[in-house]
Chain A
Amino acid sequence: AAGVIQSPRHLIKEKRETATLKCYPIPRHDTVYWYQQGPGQDPQFLISFYEKMQSDKGSIPDRFSAQQFSDYHSELNMSSLELGDSALYFCASSHTRGLDSPLHFGNGTRLTVT
């Protein structure tokens, strides 16, 4: 079965650079979520989209922005990168925004800021 696809898998950037992470949800999934997971920490919710509109916002820095496109893929744009942004970034998708719609996660993008 098709899964959530994230690219790139690994990304190395320097401080103050920008990065763009991409997420392709499972076909027919209309809701996308972004999470950040630091070493030894639980996934922290950043932002979500439903039908191309922002649905909810978590602990996403103002330096980050995201959007969902007409084909439902999503991109997370990160500017003025800081060392503390080094983490695993997961995208997840669900069939609807309903409370009984489990999230299915992609393999993540490991971002390293040097």
Chain B
Amino acid sequence: QKEVEQNSGPLSVPEGAIASLNCTYSDRVSQSFFWYRQYSGKSPELIMSIYSNGDKEDGRFTAQLNKASQYVSLLIRDSQPSDSATYLCAVFGSSNTGKLIFGQGTTLQVKP
């Protein structure tokens, strides 16, 4: 079992719709969670970070964390074609180590 799991997709949504991306992690005591966006051949770009249970909103993006279920999600409202990319969920482990673990990423396609 991978430490961080995502559905690889592709997830296809029409322009203007809400895209919902999901991620589960195996280390129950993980504390820090991040969503990165990566365009093909480019570097991962930080979108959101979340550390506490609940929702965190930033513009069109909302991250949701449920530590009891070991689940983190990203909602993208009013999806735009420019949102089409791979979204990587990343988790820092339980100890203060320098190791951020990525999921395999979900490819999002927003169709005009």
Interface residues of A, Cβ cutoff 8 Å to B: 31, 33, 41-43, 45, 48-50, 55-56, 58, 88, 90, 92, 97-100, 102-108, 110
Cβ contacts under 8 Å, A110 to chain B:
41
Of B41, B42, B49, B98, which one neighbours A50 at CB under 8 angstroms?
B98
Measured CA separation A106–B45 after assembly (Å)? 9
Contact flag A100-B49 (CB < 8 Å), given A48-B99, A55-B97, A58-B99: yes
- Chain B interface size, as a band, is 20 to 34
Measured in the bound complex, the distance between the Cα atoms of B32 and A99 in whole Å is 6
* Contact among B45, B90, B99 for A56, CB-based, below 8 A: B99
User: Quick check: B88 and A43 within 8 Å, CB to CB?
Assistant: yes
Contacts of B41 in A (CB 8 A): 88, 110
Q: Does B102 contact A (CB under 8 A)?
A: yes
Return the CB mask of B68-112 against A: 1 if under 8 Å, else 0. Answer: 000000000000000000001010100011111111110000000
Taking beta carbons and an 8 Å cutoff, which residues of B are in contact with A?
A: 31-32, 34, 36, 41-46, 49, 51, 88, 90, 92, 96-105
* Interfacial chain B residues near A42, Cβ < 8 Å: 88, 102-105
Question: Which residues of chain A come closer than 8 Å to B104, judged between CB atoms?
Answer: 41-42
Contact B32 A100 (CB under 8 A): yes
A102 engages B99 (CB within 8 Å): no
* Residue in contact with B45 in the complex, picked from A48, A98, A105, CB distance below 8 Å: A105
Task: Kindly provide the distance from the CB of A29 to the nearest chain B CB, expressed in whole angstroms.
Answer: 12
Complex Cα–Cα for A41 and B46 (A): 18
Q: Which listed residue (A45, A55, A97, A105) contacts B43, Cβ 8 A?
A: A105
With A99-B31, A100-B32, A100-B51 known as contacts, the answer to whether A107 contacts B100 (CB < 8 A) is no
A60 CB to closest chain B CB (Å) equals: 12
Which residue on chain A has the smallest CB distance to residue B45? A105
For this complex, 8 residue pairs linking A to B, each with C-beta atoms less than 8 Å apart, are A31-B98, A42-B102, A49-B98, A55-B98, A56-B98, A97-B98, A98-B96, A107-B43
Q: Which residues of B contact A106 (CB under 8 A)?
A: 43
